[in-house]
């Protein structure tokens, strides 16, 4: 009898050890990864440079979202180079899904911008990499000189889009996107200079990148993102 009781106790102890730990905050689902790809622009001219600056600013704004993880632009650039993608070519949904898989992303955000009758329109599509379906779309519009304001509006809308899409437990309600690192005053010239600096960095042309960033910071010292990139470049 005593041996039977001892055997039962031992069996219960082993079962307890083998049981999975109780669910809790540590056991929460891993945050989905989002990749914001370069934007399309096919009208030519100096505004084409904005495709990289716009993506980088949106990535920086959305890093503060509690429910998602963002792919760094540097990593995305590596994939573009590996795939030998022509940066002036539009990224279609099929290519976007391929890039998303290589980046380990669950969602990719693609988009484009154009200017007509003095108005800049920026639009996005959010694609679920697993299903290849478009699950969201946004647009902002305004004069090109208000580029920073348009980017701020778009980042806020993307933030809310993912907050709505994700479970409440994964994305607790907040007022909005992370504190902006863009300048308070909208300035298209500064936005273009920053975007050209990113393009130079991707070409390993640090001298040109530094020159562009120094001009940007001198023109608008409160452009925190540009100041941080310049500090990283000169250290």
44-58, 179-193, 203-217, range with the lowest pLDDT? 179-193
Q: What is the pLDDT of residues 63-89, one digit of tens each?
A: 988 889 999 999 999 999 988 886 556
Sketch the domain layout of the chain as residue ranges. Answer: 30-180, 181-235
The yes or no reply on domain 30-180 and CATH 3.40.50.1100 is: no
- pLDDT of 167: 64
- pLDDT of 160: 92
Q: What is the pLDDT of residues 131-164, one digit of tens each?
A: 999 999 999 999 999 999 999 999 999 999 998 8
- The answer, as to whether pTM is greater than 0.85, is no
Q: In 10 A of CB 69, how many CB atoms? A: 16
Q: What is the pLDDT of residues 13-39, one digit of tens each?
A: 433 334 444 444 443 457 899 999 999
């Amino acid at each position: 009898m005593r041996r039977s009781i001892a055997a039962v106790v031992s069996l219960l102890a082993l079962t307890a050890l083998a049981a999975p730990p109780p669910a809790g905050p540590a056991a929460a689902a891993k945050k989905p990864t989002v990749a914001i790809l370069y934007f399309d622009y096919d009208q030519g001219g100096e505004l084409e440079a904005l495709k990289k600056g716009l993506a980088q600013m949106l990535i920086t704004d959305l890093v503060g979202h509690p429910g998602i993880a963002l792919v760094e632009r540097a990593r995305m650039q590596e994939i573009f180079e590996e795939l030998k993608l022509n940066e002036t070519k539009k990224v279609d949904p099929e290519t976007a899904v391929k890039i998303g898989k290589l980046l380990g992303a669950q969602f990719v955000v693609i988009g484009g911008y154009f200017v007509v009758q003095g108005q800049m329109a920026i639009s996005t599509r959010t694609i679920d990499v697993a299903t290849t379906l478009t699950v969201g779309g946004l647009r902002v519009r305004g004069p090109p000189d208000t580029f920073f304001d348009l980017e701020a509006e778009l980042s806020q809308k993307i933030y809310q889009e993912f907050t709505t899409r994700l479970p409440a437990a994964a994305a607790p309600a907040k007022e909005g996107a992370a504190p902006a690192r863009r300048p308070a005053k909208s300035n298209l010239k500064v936005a273009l200079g920053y975007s050209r600096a990113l393009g130079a960095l991707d070409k390993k042309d640090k001298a040109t990148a530094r020159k562009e960033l120094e001009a940007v910071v001198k023109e608008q010292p409160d452009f925190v993102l540009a100041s941080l990139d310049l500090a990283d470049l000169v250290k």
